[in-house]
Amino acid sequence: MVQNIKQCVQMIRTFAPREALQYAVRSMLLALATPLLAVLIERCINTVVGMSRTEFLLYFSLLTVISFASVWLEHFKRTASVALTECLVEKCTPKIIDKLNVMRYSYFDNAATADIMERVSRNPVEALAQLYKTIITCIALAIRIFSVALLYFQLSFAFGVTLILLMVVEIAIGIVSNKEFNRLFSAELPKERKLSYIGELLSQKESVFDFKLNQSIGYIKNIQKNLANSLLKERVGINLKAERYYLINVFMMLVWTAALLISLIKGRLSGGVELGLFCTLLGSYPILSECQSELSYYLSTMGKDWFLIEALQKFFAFDEIEETESLTETLPEIVFSHVSFRYPGTEKFVLRDISFKLSAGQTIALVGANGSGKSTIVKLLCGLYEPTEGTVTVNGKDVHKLSLHSRNKLFSAVFQDFQTYSMSVNENVGLGNVQSISDTNRIRSALEKARLADFVDTLPNGGDTNLDHLDAGGVSLSGGQSQRLAIARAYMNDAHFFLLDEPTSAMDPVAESHLYQSFSDIIHGKGAVLVSHRLASAAIADSILVIDKGEIVQYGTHSELMSSEGLYKEMYAKQSSWYAESGAQE
């Protein structure tokens, strides 16, 4: 716990040192005001009873000043609290986004690191600020409790000591249950991740549509129910355990209170306890028990946020891409040399001994069955992963070591799982080159090249129409239109190579063939890697790599491959007969 507190304070100090200090100082001063006010009340009562006017005026003035100071401090503590959260949001959130940009892509494939990212993606900054405030509040409460407890030593040594002991037990229970919560929350994370994933599925129209169609909603509901039940059971179990300890403590506190009351009344009746002390101790007791229950509450609930600190620390320590290399050459050449690859955390090689060259201005098509490794080659090509064996270089430099800037100049990519965002059409396209996001002429030209401009003209607000049907005046695109949009986005970037990984799967063969024809005109002079399951589209490439089970089994131009026996000719014949049959049926 001490380690966690240290880590939290360190992290806060990195992002908002001044605001964190202001919040802490104001909280501590407020905490010290409580015993001071109690002592001054005692003195005021005693001096009134003893008729010593000057002393009374002195204590009363001090009491007034400190009361006003407390109100003032309370106000400034609240402003410091807001300032702290704002400062963290302003400074820490951009750091998280920057880190996501430079951390190794392979972290997204690993279950353990995916859990960390799940935590970090859930508004961690505000939770971090809250955690720091909770820590400071606990320290301030402990100061209040122990300084007020000192007043009870005036009654008797035994009262003072037993009170302090009870408080220590209380804090110890808080720490133990806190640890339990911490352990529970770490263990529960994979379940929570699944639960939030199911929540997401149930709020997305595509998946709900799928569940309805397949009548599978009952099955999903069951998974959700089982997960939620098992989480609830574990949490209730720990809460009950903590509750038992609290009850024992509350019982001991009640016994202590009864003894206090009896002792105070007896002391007052015998004249051993002054009226001031009598009133102060009676008056302080409710404050003391309120502070005590607040402290228990904060200590026992803090555990669920410790994991956040660990997650943030691990997240910031993730390896970053070494962006040391930059590319200045105007005619880059990419070389795959004896590349074998397995995905991080897996044993199976999905690519074996892949070697080929891609020069500036050259177009290569990758063809092969599903799962043969085509997309993996594209991911290695643009440096998202490092090869397990062999190298992928551009003019002798490792692709994965290139700076993001150089990679952006080198590649413009459309992947199978491209995204459309709930933004305007123009923004969706402009994101392909953020420097030109306001350049409507350039966006228009990209839309025209992708054969989407005519459709955009029919939209209520043209290029300014939002791509979200939930937005007033917004629209949803069809699968084929979304793919054209993604291609238009790729056209925005004047990169050396286009990487198109099945970007036309949702289009009909005629539309696809038109798009590839115009593509070969548009990319004139640029290099490209095309992945398409329709072999007729691959024919526009200068050379074709036929991939089977992670290996290159054939290499050549369309006519070369068609003139020799092999997988390409077999696949081409199968596809042609399929189109011929479906054409005849139509």
- What does the binding site for ligand ADP look like in residue numbers (CB under 6 A)? 109, 343, 346, 350, 368, 370-376
Cα gap 456→436, rounded to integer Å: 19
- Residues with Cβ within 8 Å of residue 339, at least 6 apart in sequence: 351, 353, 354, 355, 380, 387, 389, 390, 391, 392
Angle at the Cα of 567 (from 535 to 389), degrees rounded to 5?
Answer: 95
DSSP state of 418: -
Q: Which is nearer to ligand ADP, 285 or 343 (CB)?
A: 343
Q: Which is nearer to ligand ADP, 315 or 415 (CB)?
A: 415
CB of 192 to ligand ADP, least distance (A): 22
Q: Which is nearer to ligand ADP, 203 or 370 (CB)?
A: 370
CB of 491 to ligand ADP, least distance (A): 23
Cα gap 168→444, rounded to integer Å: 70
373's tokens: 């490794």
CB of 495 to ligand ADP, least distance (A): 21
Q: Which is nearer to ligand ADP, 193 or 268 (CB)?
A: 193
CB of 547 to ligand ADP, least distance (A): 7
CB of 370 to ligand ADP, least distance (A): 4
Cα gap 259→263, rounded to integer Å: 6
CB of 231 to ligand ADP, least distance (A): 28
Indicate the burial class of 298 (C-beta count within 10 angstroms; 0-12, 13-18, 19 or more): middle
Q: Which is nearer to ligand ADP, 129 or 358 (CB)?
A: 358
Angle at the Cα of 80 (from 75 to 86), degrees rounded to 5?
Answer: 130
Q: Which is nearer to ligand ADP, 41 or 350 (CB)?
A: 350
Q: How would you classify the pairing of strands 397-398 and 389-394? A: antiparallel
Which run of H or of E encompasses 397? Answer: strand 397-398
131's tokens: 């955690």
CB of 550 to ligand ADP, least distance (A): 7
Residue type for position 553: V
**H-type alpha helices, 16-52:** 17-49
DSSP state of 573: H
The candidate with the shortest Cα–Cα distance to 104, out of 377, 322, 380, 406, is 322
Q: Which is nearer to ligand ADP, 42 or 501 (CB)?
A: 501
Task: Count other C-beta atoms under 10 Å from residue 178's C-beta.
Answer: 21
CB of 411 to ligand ADP, least distance (A): 17
Q: Which is nearer to ligand ADP, 31 or 535 (CB)?
A: 535
Q: Which is nearer to ligand ADP, 318 or 343 (CB)?
A: 343
Cα gap 132→518, rounded to integer Å: 58
CB of 351 to ligand ADP, least distance (A): 8
DSSP state of 400: G
Bin 321: left if φ > 0, else alpha if -120 < ψ < 50, else beta: beta
Q: Which is nearer to ligand ADP, 148 or 531 (CB)?
A: 531
DSSP state of 56: H
Q: How would you classify the pairing of strands 551-556 and 543-548? A: antiparallel
